[in-house]
């Protein structure tokens, strides 16, 4: 079954350094093209990340985001410190103020706490983060599996649509095959009538007429085009049913190019309004196939 190139997935994992989170988005692209966003200091993992992504995401533009939330791991490090010297100085100043102004009451903790300067933020500590590469790989591969699942689901929808387009083309090919022989009979009768009219109802040279019809039969023959077109449709369906691990979008695109070529040849040899209309209908469906294949891996 084919896979789409549109997908999204995410995954999280707790580590000693904090919570790792990976988010992956993919859209269509002719080749594998990864855009990575990682925290400062994680640049050294980017080559490995691309290597973990590529086996499962062979084609498409991949937007990869890795983040590390240290709020839980660093919570105890962020508690403020008490500036005892400053607190004592504020207490002494309050006592002096009470005595000089003759105020009643005692200086209490609540009075000192109003001076926020007695608490100071801890000095920043630069700690080198040690993150296990296997943890990054694990969370990355979990997100990739979610992306692949979405791409496979979307691929099934694409396959249904593509199969419907192929069925519509096959119907038009059957119409062309049914109509094609009648073109020669109609042309033979037209030529016979035209010759009789021009020669004044004189007998028609049947041998000469037969040669003209044989020439037209060779010129208008579209049997080879019909056979090749049906072979392309059969091959297209076979590739859609292949192992989804094998990208087939480019090969399907080549088949669509060949289908368009055959449709053009049928139209050029049509010489019949019904066959010409069928040729136009076939090319319209082939164009829709091409548009859908833009998103097939």
Give me the pLDDT at residue 97, please: 85
Give me the pLDDT at residue 185, please: 60
Among the ranges given (107-116, 189-198, 242-251), the one the predictor scored with the smallest mean pLDDT: 189-198
Pair 232, 107 in one domain: no
Tell me the Ramachandran region of residue 23: left when phi exceeds 0, alpha when psi lies from -120 to 50, beta otherwise: beta
Pair 160, 224 in one domain: yes
What are the pLDDT digits (tens) for 159-203? 999 999 999 999 999 998 888 776 666 655 555 555 556 565 556
Query: Could you list the residue range(s) of the whole structural domain that residue 56 is in?
Result: 7-73+131-149
**Within a domain: residue 199?**
yes
Higher pLDDT, 153 or 204: 153
Do 137 and 66 form a contact (C-beta atoms < 8 A)? no
Distance CA 277, CA 75 (A): 73
- Mean pLDDT, to the nearest integer, of 10-31? 93
Domain count, the chain: 3
**Within a domain: residue 2?**
no
Pair 169, 268 in one domain: yes
Do 81 and 59 form a contact (C-beta atoms < 8 A)? no
**Within a domain: residue 140?**
yes
Do 15 and 42 form a contact (C-beta atoms < 8 A)? no
pLDDT level of residue 127 (50, 70, 90 thresholds): very low
76 is written with which tokens?
């105890």
**Within a domain: residue 16?**
yes
Pair 143, 227 in one domain: no
**Within a domain: residue 200?**
yes
Pair 143, 32 in one domain: yes
**Within a domain: residue 33?**
yes
Total-model pTM: 0.68
Q: How far is CA 33 from the centre of its chain?
A: 12
Pair 161, 289 in one domain: yes
Total length of the chain: 297
C-alpha closest to that of 264 among 225, 230, 236, 292: 225
**Within a domain: residue 186?**
yes
What are the pLDDT digits (tens) for 47-74? 999 999 999 999 999 999 999 988 755 4
Give me the pLDDT at residue 21, please: 96
Residue 206 has pLDDT above 50, yes or no: yes
User: Long-range contacts: 98-104, Cβ < 8 Å, 24+?
Assistant: none
Give me the pLDDT at residue 95, please: 87
Among the ranges given (65-69, 119-123, 232-236), the one the predictor scored with the smallest mean pLDDT: 119-123
**Within a domain: residue 1?**
no
pLDDT level of residue 126 (50, 70, 90 thresholds): very low
Distance CA 39, CA 25 (A): 18
Residue 153 has pLDDT above 90, yes or no: yes
Domain CATH number, residue 63: 3.30.230.10
Give me the pLDDT at residue 1, please: 81
Pair 163, 135 in one domain: no
Distance CA 29, CA 294 (A): 8
């Amino acid at each position: 079954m084919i896979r789409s190139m549109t997908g999204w997935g995410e995954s999280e994992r707790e580590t000693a350094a904090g919570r790792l989170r990976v988010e992956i988005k993919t859209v269509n692209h002719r080749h594998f093209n990864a855009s990575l966003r990682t925290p400062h200091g994680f640049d050294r993992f980017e080559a490995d990340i691309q290597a973990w992504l590529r086996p499962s995401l062979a084609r498409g533009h991949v937007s990869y985001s890795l983040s590390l939330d240290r709020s839980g791991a660093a919570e105890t490090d962020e508690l403020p410190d008490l500036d005892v010297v400053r607190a004592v100085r504020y207490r002494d100043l309050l006592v002096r103020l009470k005595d000089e102004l003759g105020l009643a009451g005692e200086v209490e903790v609540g009075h000192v706490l109003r001076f926020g300067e007695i608490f100071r933020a801890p000095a920043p500590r630069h700690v080198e983060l040690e993150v296990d590469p296997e943890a990054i790989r694990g969370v990355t591969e979990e997100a990739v599996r979610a992306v692949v699942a979405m791409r496979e689901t979307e691929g099934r929808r694409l396959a249904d649509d593509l199969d419907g387009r192929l069925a519509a083309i096959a119907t038009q090919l059957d119409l062309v095959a049914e109509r094609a022989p009648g073109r020669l009979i109609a042309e033979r009768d037209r030529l016979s009538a035209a010759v009789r009219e021009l020669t004044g109802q004189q007998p028609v040279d049947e041998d000469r007429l037969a040669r003209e019809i044989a020439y037209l039969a060779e010129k208008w023959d579209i049997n080879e085009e019909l056979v090749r077109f049906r072979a392309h449709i059969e091959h297209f369906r076979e590739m859609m049913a292949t192992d989804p691990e094998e990208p087939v979008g480019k090969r399907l695109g080549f088949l669509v190019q060949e289908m368009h070529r055959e449709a053009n040849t049928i139209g050029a040899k049509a010489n019949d309004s019904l066959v010409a209309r069928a040729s136009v209908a076939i090319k319209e469906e082939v164009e829709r196939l091409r548009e859908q294949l833009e998103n097939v891996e």
